[in-house]
Amino acid sequence: MTGEDADHDEGHSGVVRRDRFSGGPARGFMSSLAADERIFAADLAVDRAHVVMLAEQGIVADDVAGEILAALDDVESAGHGALPDGEDVHEAIETGVVERVGPDGGKMHTARSRNDEVAACIRYRLRADLLDAIEATLALREALVDVAAEHVDTVMPGYTHLQPAQPTTVAHFLLSYESAFARDTARLLDAYGRTNQSPLGGAAFAGTPFDIDRERTAELLGFEGVVANSMDASAGRDFLAESTAALTTHATTLSGLAEDLVIFANKGFVDLADEYSSTSSIMPQKVNPDTLELVRAVAGDAVGGLSGLLTTLKGLPRAYNRDLQRATPHAWETVDAVSEATAVVAGAVATAEWPEETLEAAAGDGFSTATGVADALAMAGVPFRTAHEVLAAAAERADGETPDLATLDAVAADVLGESLFEYVSRERVEAALDPVESVASRDSLGGPAPAAVAAQIGDAEAALDADRDAYDARSGALDAAAATLRTEVDRYV
Ligand code: ARG
């Protein structure tokens, strides 16, 4: 044994587990203490709820509970950095309690295991992180709806395959992402519901002979319910997978919006605010959309995190395996990066300018009004497939430009054997060729016509209000539970 190990053995971690296997060359490798800073506050809350419950159930005497709870306050004030050495934060906090209280401090770990304890801590912390992520999606959606409301009439080119396809509006484009982000919020709220369930009391996996009250600890910690099966409680990590998957899906949507904005900035269709751009160290004329490029990359990190997490979980047998210790950080990294990226995109959207004249001038590029003329012919009774043929021939003849009426008429005569104007008036054709009129005509449910978009804005605002209420209810419940727990603790200390 090296001198360092000898020191260690005389020291703190020995208090909890009497030095069994606690030294050795793999000690650092096994420790999660540094990464566990993330769940330091969570562990203190879980310890407090557990001790209050043990006292209420008569498993630990009130005065001992009071000493343990006072020691936990002291450990909290000293901070994570002052914790004694230990394999993880759970062991280190317990050692800190035993150091302060003496052997009776060890009663804190009655009727539980680090397996249910760590699962409770991860859920407790993750739910707060999920709420932050949800709040970020709400702010992003609000920015999109606000900017959309200003640009209901701002006509712009719409693309498929990155080719000009049909004219649309800035509002319709932005709301397409708002709708997707609303589903991302819903997925995060769903993941929150399944994360916010208490595994505490599952013990190592096999329950406990003590007369514990699992519903009481769940209530004290603000969990909505209990993960009943004790093996499932201690071993299950599908809540981590689901939450990380919901975040990764959201990051994927974000990356699409980021890419669209990068492309539009390149075409001069959107002006990003200086705070969301960067300049070149050598090329003085350049303003680059770097923030959005980083958002694209965050989606890659999220996919990597989800993949690391699922690969770690895949094939793990019941019940607890130490692999789980390395599963958790994937979720932390993903939630941090994705929430930050969401906030950055919200800022970029809220501050960007959409140059109306440039957009309108480009809206009909590439004969993107062709479908509208075909629709007009089809409305006059020409089979749509035949109308398509007329316009395809006109497009070929005009070589990517919008053909004039004479060209359209000549092509129609070739295909239909009659003048175009036998079917559709000149005014109707001219209107179909005008991007503004073209957009106004597409007023089907969810379409880009200003009236249809106004309805979408109304629906988006209502859904946003409902999601804000859902967020407020959950975050209020957590605050209330934290206050209740403090009140209960104060009965003993
Ligand atoms: N630090 C561990 C984790 O994060 C929890 C400890 C459970 N350890 C054990 N050997 N049963 O998963």
The phi and psi torsions of 125 (rounded to 5 degrees) equal -75, -40
Ligand 1 pocket residue status of 423, Cβ below 6 Å = no
What six digits make up the tokens of 366?
A: 């590439």
Per-residue pLDDT at 37 exceeds 90? yes
User: Rounded to an integer, what distance in angstroms lies between the CA atom of residue 260 and that of residue 319?
Assistant: 46
Q: Phi/psi zone of residue 419: left (φ > 0), alpha (ψ -120 to 50 degrees), beta? A: beta
| pLDDT tens string 298-326 | 999 999 999 999 999 999 999 999 999 99
Q: Could you tell me the sign of the dihedral formed by the alpha carbons of 377, 409, 372, 151, in that order?
A: negative
pLDDT of residue 129: 98
Q: What is the pLDDT of residue 11?
A: 41
**CATH annotation of 116-143+190-358:** 1.20.200.10
pLDDT tops 80 at residue 1: no
Look up residue 19 and give its two tokens. 């030095």
pLDDT at 372 exceeding the cut of 50: yes
Q: What are the CA-CA distances from residue 22 to residues 6, 11, 14, 26 (Å)?
A: 11, 11, 7, 9
Query: In terms of DSSP bridges, do strands 197-198 and 225-226 run parallel, antiparallel, or are they unpaired?
Result: parallel
Give 269's pLDDT tier (boundaries 50, 70, 90).
very high
CB 163 within 8 A of CB 91: no
Does residue 227's CB lie within 6 angstroms of at least one atom of ligand 1? Answer: no
Ligand 1 mean position, distance from CA 412 (Å): 76
> Confidence class of residue 16 from pLDDT cuts 50, 70 and 90?
low
11-110 CATH: 1.10.275.10
- Name the catalytic one among 77, 161, 281, 444: 161
Q: How far is the CA of 89 from the centre of ligand 1 (A)?
A: 10
pLDDT on residue 145: 98
**Cβ(39) to ligand 1 under 6 A?**
no
**Mean pLDDT throughout 134-140?**
98
pLDDT score for 376: 95
Report whether residue 32 contacts ligand 1, using a CB cutoff of 6 Å: yes
Q: Is the pLDDT of residue 412 over 90?
A: yes
User: Does 26 score more than 90 pLDDT?
Assistant: no
CA of residue 471 to ligand 1 center, whole Å: 31
- Residue 11 CA, ligand 1 centroid: distance in Å: 21
Q: Give residue limits of the domains in the chain.
A: 11-110, 116-143+190-358, 370-433
Closest residue CA from atom 6 of ligand 1 = 114
Over residues 189-202, the mean pLDDT reads 98
Q: Output the pLDDT for position 281.
A: 83
- Residue with the bigger pLDDT between 220 and 2: it is 220
**Residue of 280, 307, 419, 425 marked catalytic:** 280
Residue with tokens 């692999």: 323
Q: Average pLDDT for residues 274-292, to the nearest whole number?
A: 85
Give mean pLDDT, residues 341-352: 98
Residue 161 bears catalytic tag: yes
φ, ψ of residue 469 in degrees (nearest 5)? -60, -40
How large is the average pLDDT for residues 153-175?
A: 96
Given a cut of 90, whether residue 32 has pLDDT beyond it is yes
- Tell me, using a 6 A CB cutoff, whether residue 320 lines ligand 1: yes
Asked if 234 is an active-site residue, the reply is no
- State percent of the chain over pLDDT 70: 95
Q: What is the pLDDT of residues 83-105, one digit of tens each?
A: 998 899 999 999 999 999 999 99
Answer whether 204's CB lies under 8 Å from 320's CB. Answer: yes
* Kind of pairing between the strands at 287-288 and 155-160: unpaired
Q: Quick one: pLDDT band at residue 6, thresholds 50, 70, 90?
A: very low
| Ligand 1 touching residue 114 (CB < 6 A) | yes
| Tens-digit pLDDT profile for residues 431-470 | 999 999 999 999 999 999 999 999 999 999 999 999 999 9
Question: Do residues 358 and 154 make contact, with C-beta atoms less than 8 angstroms apart?
Answer: no
If one counts every other C-beta atom within 10 angstroms of the C-beta of residue 337, the result is 20
Distance in angstroms (rounded) separating the CA atoms of residues 358 and 268: 8
- The pLDDT of residue 31 is 93
Distance from Cα 10 to the centre of ligand 1, integer Å: 23
Query: How far, rounded to the nearest angstrom, does the alpha carbon of residue 240 sit from its chain's CA centroid?
Result: 13
pLDDT band at 330 (very low <50, low <70, confident <90, very high): very high
How many Cα atoms occupy the beta-carbon half-sphere of 33 within 13 Å? 21
More confident residue, 432 or 400: 432
148 and 178 Cβ atoms separated by less than 8 Å: yes
Give phi and psi for 156, each to the nearest 5. Answer: -145, 165
Residue 23 banded pLDDT, cuts 50, 70, 90: low
